Structure 1
């Protein structure tokens, strides 16, 4: 764990220079998180290192948007103290050959000497500069998510980019962005969830009820009057 803390302390000033001004270290898991936040959005990089041996596990970036999470939490009980992502970097992960090669190389780096550790840190920063920061820049605001994911891709691909309660998040994003696709997606979701209830009411009934309440909330006149561009 001392090894993980050493890398954490070394990366703090480097990532601060890249705009990630806050950081946290988990004593229990050894994971390192670096993030920046404003009134509307949160950008987080997490580096996971093995908590028993010196080794790389994973590094990834995620984006959350405050207004989406605030609305979702009215209808879904979100896990406490867990970062609820709205967008993940699937553009990298969908290229499995490239992704596996990058992570195989990071996993194979020796971490025995100070020089080894310095080389590992340099490779992590290079990865962040090449793949995570451009991902953050691509989705600067919620309108970018609407335009570059929801407008460009078929709904079958939404879950690749928008994880966890995808359909609820998509409806919220579309409504907040005044998307022309909102009505069609709403009608598809209502039909799909209703069919689920007909198949197994015990399993799908709660989700269908939540969907109906969410749509009612999003289409309430007071809500629509409160939306700020």
Structure 2
């Protein structure tokens, strides 16, 4: 039985007020998290604290988007879903163009404003079912489940245009236009792939978008979305296991 397995033995009763929650509550207060209106240390209140901590641990503090850890978990689930269902799914990797120049010229507070503005633009453009994450300083990732190949280029271009249409005031009287580069790849359908291979494919297209001048979206052509040697090996290994 693992240390987290609580199905076979009931939990030991404890005095909830003996728990040292000061640091956790301070962290939640700083993050602006809302706790349930219930008696402190009651079961409802403690559950609210746990739920708020779980939510906080999965979010990027600056943007409120999913953080890298949450993104990696969502991507692994999507890889598994595509392998089982055969539905198309698109992964987009996105970088803010010339972001270092923004920080160097206007300061890091202006850089934070730019990151937040790009995050809002992405969130307002994608579907509720899509996962948007901040995975690095100026790097974002978007998982689009059930996204047909015919729609991929349209949504990528819509995201690029939505960001480019903004004019951000980074200092009094100083407005800035921000652009982004995007790279995308579809997960191979009915194939057991891996999150790393999928990210590498999308990253290659992102590098291509940057090399071609930035402020553009490059998607892996459908003809290139074939099963790689690594994925063939994974598929062969699964087939062998099923036959044993």
Q: TM-score, normalised by structure 1?
A: 0.32
Task: Considering fraction of residues, name the structure with more helix.
Answer: 1
Higher normalized contact order (CA 8 Å, seq sep 6+, divided by chain length): 2
Q: Which has the larger radius of gyration?
A: 2
